[in-house]
Amino acid sequence: MDDLERRGSTEALFRDVNERIAESAERFDADDAQFVCECADPNCTHRVEATLAEYEDVRADGTTFLLVPGHEHPDIERVVADHGRFRVVEKVQRTVRSIALRMNPRAAGAS
């Protein structure tokens, strides 16, 4: 696996963790949750506080991810929203974008 594939897979795996966090929060009727940063660093342990509505806005597009400010990588993504406590990035690098779409848990037939 090359570096771009590793980075794209790491981000997609963090997104999967956040899907479970969102599901748990919904079951307990919470309005917000502590999500994991969906950056490319496999050792990142930072948390992002967001409402479930904010999280759903990020998930509306399979190429957007929730990050702690400063965890962006301009070579693979661009910031599309800055909420102060978190940023939303869109994957723009072709390999990483393809992985994000292929591994999107909300897409029909996602693997």
The pLDDT tens digits for 16-25 are 999 999 999 9
Span 70-96, pLDDT tens digits: 999 999 999 999 999 999 999 999 999
Give the angle subtended at the CA of 85 by the CAs of 27 and 81, to the nearest 5°.
Answer: 95
In terms of pLDDT, which residue wins out, 90 or 111? Answer: 90
| 43 burial type by CB count under 10 A (0-12 exposed, 13-18 middle, 19+ buried) | exposed
pTM of the model: 0.93
- Residue 18: phi, psi to the nearest 5? -65, -30
Task: Answer yes or no: is pLDDT of 108 > 80.
Answer: no
Please give the Cα distance from 40 to 46 (Å, whole number): 12
Please give the Cα distance from 28 to 92 (Å, whole number): 35
56 SS3 class: helix
